[in-house]
Amino acid sequence: MSERATVDASEEIPPSEWGRRQPLPSVGPWAFAVVVGLLVIGRLVFAQYLTAPALQAWATIFVAICVQALPFLVFGVLLSAAITAFVPASFWTRALPRRPFLAVPVAGAAGAVLPGCECASVPVASGLMSRGVTPAAALAFLLASPAINPVVIVATVVAFPGQPMMAVARFGASLVVAVLAGWVWLRFGRAEWLRIPARAGGEGSKWRTFQDAMGHDFLHAGGFLVVGGATAATMNVIVPRSWLESVAGVPVLSVLALAALAVILSICSEADAFVAASLTAFSPTAKLAFLVVGPMVDLKLIALQAGTFGRRFAARFIPLTFVLAVIVSMAVGEVLL
């Protein structure tokens, strides 16, 4: 039990079942048997009726988002569990500048080395926090890494042939937003808003710690990813794109429209440049806003962050990031594009 003591540092936010025994520990396997039964019966009986085109399109997009995010999520969770189990906490105090004010930009720039999309960065950031990294620095890393890593930058260069400034602007604007958001959190954020997921550690073998951290993180983050994927698929099917085209020519509104589209579509940051390039009616600044907002704020990320760090954190941090991302995109777009 002693290894769970750290959990209670943030009593109010964790879901009620954390650190407590289920009232009926044996209910899970039975519920599971029901799930499997429903799968078998459903496939035999209902599958032939589930053929409405809108439902099928929804299901395709929903499954596509989940399936596409899975490798990144597994990679992120593996890395996070490895950080928890095998990297000693002292490593981070040596690797990052001691003063939090300096640690934020260093952590943000370090995001450039993790090739992955936003689903991977949430578990990694949470692993860093639970290993004693300043939350503001881990948050800067969380925001920067899906937008500025080499894979994403190369994809952006490929998607915008002849416009290398788009990739430069994306890199610069994303890093600036991440660092600013980190600093704002450092200055105004309160510890009680943020739930730092506690890890079992110290006792037991390292491999067991690794395995437990991995299973727990994957199920937890995966569950919220499903929430985000379902919401994004719903919006994708019911919101007509023609609404967007109507504001393409209006200066500020077009930027806000594409920023909002980035939130709704929840496209993986490694693919969003191709979608941005196809939105030909919009100005380069609006496309830049799409590329900067997308990896930092989208429906599946909102679900993931709220699930990992708590709702009180998400309710403050997500609007902050969104506003910063839009303002910085407009400024950078004005100068570079």
Partner 1 sequence: MNRLTQSMILVLLGGAVLRITTLSTTYLNYVKPGFRPFLIAAGAVVFVLGVIGLIQEWRGSTETEHHHDHGHAPRVAWLLTLPVFAIYLIAPPALGAFSAKSEDAPAQPVAALDAYDTLPAGKVTDMTIGEFIGRAYGDSSKSLSGRQVKLTGFAVPSAKKKDRWYVARIQIACCAADGIALKVAVLDAAMPPENTWVEVTGTWREPKSGKLPVGTVAPELDAISVTGIPQPVEPYE
182 or 295, CB closer to partner 1?
295
In the chain, the amino acid numbered 63 is: V
Residue range at the interface with partner 1 (CB under 8 A); choices 62-70, 164-172, 179-187, 285-293? 62-70
Cβ count within 10 A of residue 133 = 25
Q: Is 205 in the site for partner 1 (CB under 8 A)?
A: no
Q: Is 57 in the site for partner 1 (CB under 8 A)?
A: yes
159 or 258, CB closer to partner 1?
159
Site for partner 1 in 279-298 (CB under 8 A): 280-281
| Cβ proximity of 86 and 205 under 8 Å | no
Q: Output the smallest distance, CB 260 to partner 1, in A.
A: 16
Lay out the site mask for partner 1 across 90-129 (x = CB under 8 A, - = otherwise).
----------------------------------------
What are the φ and ψ backbone dihedral angles of 163, each rounded to 5 degrees? -130, 65
Q: Is 197 helix (H, G, I), strand (E, B) or coil?
A: coil
Q: Output the smallest distance, CB 117 to partner 1, in A.
A: 9
Residues with Cβ within 8 Å of 39's Cβ and at least 6 positions away in sequence, in order, are: none
How far apart, in Å, are the Cα atoms of 259 and each of 111, 263, 294, 298? 22, 7, 7, 10
Q: Output the smallest distance, CB 68 to partner 1, in A.
A: 4
Q: Is 54 in the site for partner 1 (CB under 8 A)?
A: yes
How far apart, in Å, are the Cα atoms of 149 and each of 22, 159, 274? 42, 16, 16
Residue range at the interface with partner 1 (CB under 8 A); choices 68-76, 285-293, 311-319, 322-330? 68-76
Q: Output the smallest distance, CB 101 to partner 1, in A.
A: 35
53 or 88, CB closer to partner 1?
53
Q: Is 257 in the site for partner 1 (CB under 8 A)?
A: no
134 or 236, CB closer to partner 1?
236
| Cβ proximity of 166 and 284 under 8 Å | yes
Q: Look up residue 194 and give its two tokens.
A: 């943020």
Q: Look up residue 249 and give its two tokens.
A: 């020519």
Sign of CA dihedral 201, 202, 204, 205: positive
Site for partner 1 in 160-199 (CB under 8 A): 161
Given the structure tokens 């909102």, which residue do they identify? Answer: 302
134 or 269, CB closer to partner 1?
269
54 or 191, CB closer to partner 1?
54
